[in-house]
Structure 1
Amino acid sequence: MNYLFPLSLLITIITGIATVTINQTTGVYDSSHDSIALPIIAFLLIFSALTTTYLAQLFFQRKTLKSRIGKRVLLGISGLSAALSLLTLIANAIYWWLPNHTIISLLFCITTAVFIYNQISLYRKA
């Protein structure tokens, strides 16, 4: 089940990029607005950051299961990683709750739910 969160995040990011691109080409945004490159770069950075913290969290969880030395430190680092990721997901769900972007927000909400489910299953193993 470790693949659900990265897959959900990837679907959300691809849909977000597609939505912003479609909105630009169909004239939803005024021509006076800046380029859509900033949201696309932001989506890619969010994907990179959350995927990196998720993989680091998996690494720390596996280290904790194999070695009981420093368990509290490793669980603390893992918990901090989870908290930052959760805040990022919630912030994006709120930010994209605008007309013409609602699908992005809903997908971030679904990704947040998948993330929480994944965290519960990870911490049950620890």
Structure 2
Amino acid sequence: MRNIRSAILAVDNGQLAACYSVGMTTTQALRRVILPQALRIGIPNLFNHFIILLKDTSLAFAASVPEILGEAKMIAGRTSQFFEVYIVAALIYWALCSILELVSVILEQRLTKQTGGLRYD
């Protein structure tokens, strides 16, 4: 929740003033101007939290790292091929994190186009 609030506060106050000057209500200004820019600003931080969830809890998706590593440990114990099994587990984890990062980049690019290319770097 702090991430969303800080992203909204990062949008320049002049944006809200500009919305008022063209006759928008506060709701219209938030929906059409402020929130798209705030979402664009907050996406990297939000996706970092998704990746942390993927690593730390079983609530993230259906297979998080503890389950992947638990299965790898059981398979490695049965087959005595520890190196190969843990390499596969690492590749699965890497693929999941890469997919999340790709989704983040695509979403950020779309929001950059939607907000008129405004950059807050």
- Superposition TM-score, scaled by structure 1 size: 0.37
Structure with the bigger RCO (C-alpha within 8 Å, sep 6+) is 1
Question: TM-score under structure 2 normalisation?
Answer: 0.38
Larger radius of gyration: 2
